[in-house]
Chain A
Amino acid sequence: MYSFIAGIFILPVIVSGLLLFLPSKAAKILVIFSAVVLSAISVYLFIQVDQPFYFSVPHYINEIVAGADILLLLYFGFVAIRKKSLLVGVMTVLQLGGLLYLLKILPPAESMQFMVDKLSAAMFMLINIISGIIAIYSLRYIEEEDCSSFRKKYFMSIMFWFIAVMNMIVSSDNLEYFFLFFELTTLASFLFIGFRKDQESVGNAITALWMNQIGGLAILVAIFFIHYNGYGEATFSNLLTHGSATGILLPLAFMSIAALIKGAQMPFSKWLLGAMVAPTPVSALLHSSTMVKIAPFIILRLSPVIKDTPVATVIIALTGFVFVAAAVVSLSQDNLKRILAHSTIGLLALMIMMAAIATPVTIIASLVLILFHGISKCMLFLNAGVLERVFHLKQTSDMDKLGEVGPYTSLAVTIGFMSLLLPPFGAFVGKWLSYLTLGAFLQEQRVFGALVIVFVAIGGAVFSLLYFKVMGTLISRTGNNDHIEFEHTGKIYKTIINLLMVMIVLCMVGLPYLLTHLFSPVAADLVGSHIPIVTEGWNYYIGAMKLPMVPLLVAFFLLPVTIVAAMFVQFKKVDRAKEYMCGEKINYSFSSFYFTTDKAAPYFSTVGILFFIALIAVALI
């Protein structure tokens, strides 16, 4: 097993290095090969890992990590000077100071630095499979990018670098290591966002850099408090054993802040929105499988201790608020990628909320959301890339002819949006579980629970309005030609989108299997007790929650099958009549409602900042 874990760490690094030099033909084969191998290893690891598996690395690695930390921070300092960014400079100085101080006071790490448990293994699967798909997709995408051939290789190289770092971050137990990998993901996203090198890209990359550096700083502060409170070594597993120790709230609060920043919650949502300027595979990567998924991951890791603390309360309140705020702001957006980004922020809020409530069922809900959101968002973003490259469309209001020129892409986007919204798709099941468990949460936390439910209900409804708005522009077409022919978008594009659609359908059909074999063991590992999933007739019981499977199975035939069948169904012996326009023959242009809700965004940010202050305040008290 050790060798496999080492493989999943080292293989992407080697691939990343090789990609810089290999000619494009060989690079193509290498990328596809390594994506398949990494996915296979991750699945194998998930099957194999039963108990948390600790392992340490040789001592000299400790020194290398410390050295890498300092080098990285020096690089950030260099960026700050070159781009003349005061914020990055200040953050770097603070981080460097904090790091050097910690290195001085902390005893050398004795215990295991890495831990692979069920959660890590599940994250491995998400990271490697989805990122592998995105990597194959970007082979084609980056070919058409307007840049030198070295930068194209460089792009693919960072992608695998990112995968390697993500694999390491989800399996690191030691917080010093965690800090390094956290900063490395920040670095990778910084390089990615600034990839196009124009003024906007560079500006947004800087924003992403300093915002994520705050997260890094928060981790350093958390490490300091762990040491200061005398809990022993700064590791996750050590932190989990000090559930009721005094002063535990401070490190928890700072770790949560790091998570919330990575998860682009409200005042810090700007970096994720700014990441839109990068090539589309980057957005897909950041939103679906890497980067932002660190946020629910951290909270899930800490869920046993964070549960029922004031910190959890503030996190739940913040995320409930962000869920609505992101939905409301997204109504005013026209750019497809920005709409998707807002919905990511909203759904991340839901995942973090579920993880922070931390009952067995909410943890399952959170995991379900993480997985299915990963697949759906990946498909939506990759489709956005196709729209950009093949159809040269970015704004949703320009997409009203897509139903005629690109029915296949419009179908794929429609299914993607549906899968975030309606039964029987996985993301819906996640939402449904959320509602079910919020009911139980309400019985414990009376007034507060009621407020959260109102937020989630309204946010969910606003999101459904948003998705309908987008789907509406995508699917409209005239009756002139009833016979639909799917367009050719390109071999790689089509294969990847098909693959993702098949994955969505498979996950949907295999949901009962996934519940018992994937989500339940992971959650059981986190909660520490077995979560009974009982089949009784056609109903599934997760703990006390009942999931009737028959309606879901029927809904499968109603919705996904309907949308696909609507493309192919042909009524014979039926006249084709013109659309009713009061007898007029003018060509109207269509659009859906416009909203001006983005004016509220600054207020939402202010409220978000207040929540963050509250988070620290409750920990101090």
Chain B
Amino acid sequence: MKLASFRKKSPWILHYNAGGCNGCDIEILACLAPKYDIERFGMINTGNPKQSDILLVTGPVTKRSRERLVEIYDQMPEPKVVISCGACASTGGVFRGMYNCEGGIDQFIPVDVYVCGCGTRPEQIIDGVVQALGILEKKTKELEESVRLSKKPVQEGRQLNRRNIADEIKPLVS
């Protein structure tokens, strides 16, 4: 039995709101509550990128949250998958084209699963996560670079320094 098969048995989730209206966030919390109870699949909402496998992002990326998003993404150890949760996270949604929003997280980090809806329904989120688990099992431990990086991780001896990857991500909207 390979270790990789256990990935889908204990996916730990990190939830990040990149500037949305909190609609999707409430639906995510509903997943944890007794009615949907995603803990029965072994999922935990950790709140800590260093111990998470799935990054669940909601909301369009505002200028302020841009660097934080990439920083958090880089602090997650591979293999990891990103789920863009809701219309805003996927495309920018109703905020698309606004002066303070970048619109869509896939312009900064690679997204594996897009979940539609404004706000997403818990069933949809669970569906998306289940789909993500299939992807997670196939992924490797190789470093995935986030899109539009200004810095690369630095190889120092046999250690890879990924401390300063997210420095100065260039904005899309000027």
A→B interface (CB under 8 Å): 479-480, 482, 571-578, 580, 582-585
Contacts and interface: CB of A to CB of B under 8 A. Distances in A.
List of 3 A-B pairs having minimum Cβ-Cβ separation, nearest first: A583-B68, A583-B71, A578-B163
A576 B71 contact: no
Chain B interface SS verdict (over half): mixed
Interface stretch (B26-34, B87-95, B153-161): B153-161
A576 B153 CA distance: 10
A585 B74 CA distance: 13
A576 B160 contact: yes
- A575, A578, A580, A583, most chain B CB atoms within 10 A: A583
Contacts of B167: 585
Nearest to A571: B159
A585 B67 contact: yes
B159 A580 contact: no
Nearest to B51: A580
Interface string B92-123: 00000000000000000000000000000000
Nearest to B165: A578
B44 interface: no
A467 B167 CA distance: 37
A480 B159 contact: no
Nearest to B72: A583
Contact of A580 (B75, B156, B161): B75
Contacts of A479: 163
B158 A583 contact: no
A578 B163 CA distance: 5
Contacts of A576: 156, 159-163
A584 B69 CA distance: 10
B79 interface: no
B142 to A, nearest CB: 12
A179 to B, nearest CB: 66
B151 interface: no
Contacts of A480: 163
Interface of B: 48-50, 65, 67-69, 71-72, 74-75, 77, 143, 153, 156-164, 166-167
16 contacts: A572-B159, A573-B158, A575-B77, A575-B159, A575-B160, A576-B160, A577-B50, A577-B162, A577-B163, A578-B162, A578-B163, A580-B48, A580-B49, A580-B50, A583-B68, A585-B71
Main secondary structure, interface of A, reads loop
B68 A582 contact: yes
A553 to B, nearest CB: 34
B62 to A, nearest CB: 13
A574 B156 CA distance: 10
Contacts of A577: 50, 74-75, 77, 162-163
Given A577-B50, A577-B75, A578-B163, A572 B158 contact: yes
A61 to B, nearest CB: 71
Given A577-B74, A577-B75, A583 B67 contact: yes
A83 B68 CA distance: 65
A573 B143 CA distance: 13
A134 to B, nearest CB: 42
Contacts of A575: 77, 143, 153, 159-162
B159 A574 contact: yes
A414 B69 CA distance: 38
Residue from A571, A572, A580 having most chain B Cβ neighbours under 10 A: A580
A559 B160 CA distance: 30
A571 B158 CA distance: 9
A313 B59 CA distance: 71
Nearest to A583: B68
A570 to B, nearest CB: 8
Given A577-B50, A577-B74, A583 B162 contact: no
A482 B156 CA distance: 11
A199 B121 CA distance: 75
A575 to B, nearest CB: 5
Contacts of A584: 68
Contacts of B72: 582-583
Nearest to B153: A575
A559 B67 CA distance: 40
B143 to A, nearest CB: 8
A580 to B, nearest CB: 6
Contacts of B153: 575
Nearest to A584: B68
Given A576-B159, A577-B162, 5 more contacts: A479-B163, A575-B160, A578-B74, A578-B164, A585-B166
A578 B71 contact: yes
B46 to A, nearest CB: 11
Contacts of A573: 158-159
A575 B162 CA distance: 7
A582 B16 CA distance: 10
A573 B153 CA distance: 14
Nearest to B49: A580
Nearest to B161: A576
A584 to B, nearest CB: 7
Contacts of A572: 157-159
Nearest to B143: A575
